Amino acid sequence: MTTNKKRSLTGLKVTGNLHLGNYLGTLLPALELTKTYDCIYFIADLHSLTTQRDGNALATQTLDQVATWLALGLDTDKHTLFRQSDVTEVTEFAWYLSCVTGLGLLEKAHAYKDSLAKGLEINHGTFAYPVLMAADILMYEPDVVPVGKDQKQHIEFTRDMAGSLNALYGEILKLPEALIDERVMIIPGLDGQKMSKSYNNEVPLFCDEKTLRKKIMSIKTDSTGLEEPKTLKGSLVGDLYTYFGSVAQFDDLAGRLQKGGLGWGHAKEELFQVINEHIKEKRDRYNEFRKDEALLRNELKKGAEKAKALAHPTLNRVRHALGFR
* Nearest residue (CB) to ligand AMP, 20 versus 257: 20
At its nearest, how many Å lie between ligand AMP and the CB of residue 18?
Answer: 8
Give residues 145-164 in contact with ligand AMP (rule: CB under 6 A). 148
Q: Considering only CA atoms, which of 50, 224, 48 is closest in space to residue 125?
A: 50
Q: How far is the first Cα of the chain from the last one, in angstroms, to the nearest whole number?
A: 29
Residues in contact with ligand AMP, shown as a per-residue x/- string from 177 to 206 under the rule CB under 6 A? --------xxx------xxx----------
At its nearest, how many Å lie between ligand AMP and the CB of residue 283?
Answer: 19
* Nearest residue (CB) to ligand AMP, 196 versus 273: 196
Which stretches of 52-151 are assigned E, i.e. beta strand?
A: 80-83, 144-148
* Nearest residue (CB) to ligand AMP, 101 versus 201: 201
* Nearest residue (CB) to ligand AMP, 30 versus 262: 30
Query: Binding ligand AMP by CB under 6 A: which of 21, 130, 146, 238?
Result: 21
* Nearest residue (CB) to ligand AMP, 143 versus 239: 239
Q: Considering only CA atoms, which of 130, 141, 136, 50 is closest in space to residue 88?
A: 136
Beta bridge partners of 268: none
Instruction: Indicate the residue whose CB is closest to ligand AMP.
Output: 25
Contacts 24+ apart (CB under 8 A), 57-60: 58/14
* Chain centroid, CA 198 distance in Å: 15
Is 22 a residue that touches ligand AMP (CB under 6 A)? yes
Residue 134 half-sphere exposure, CB side, CA atoms within 13 Å? 33
Is 11 a residue that touches ligand AMP (CB under 6 A)? no
By CB atoms closer than 10 A (0-12, 13-18, 19+), residue 255 is: exposed
Q: Which helix (H) or strand (E) holds 199?
A: none
Contact 144, 8 (CB under 8 A): yes
Give residues 26-45 in contact with ligand AMP (rule: CB under 6 A). 26
* Nearest residue (CB) to ligand AMP, 179 versus 315: 179
Is 7 a residue that touches ligand AMP (CB under 6 A)? no
Which residues sit at the interface with ligand AMP, rule CB under 6 A?
12-13, 15, 21-22, 25-26, 148, 185-187, 194-196
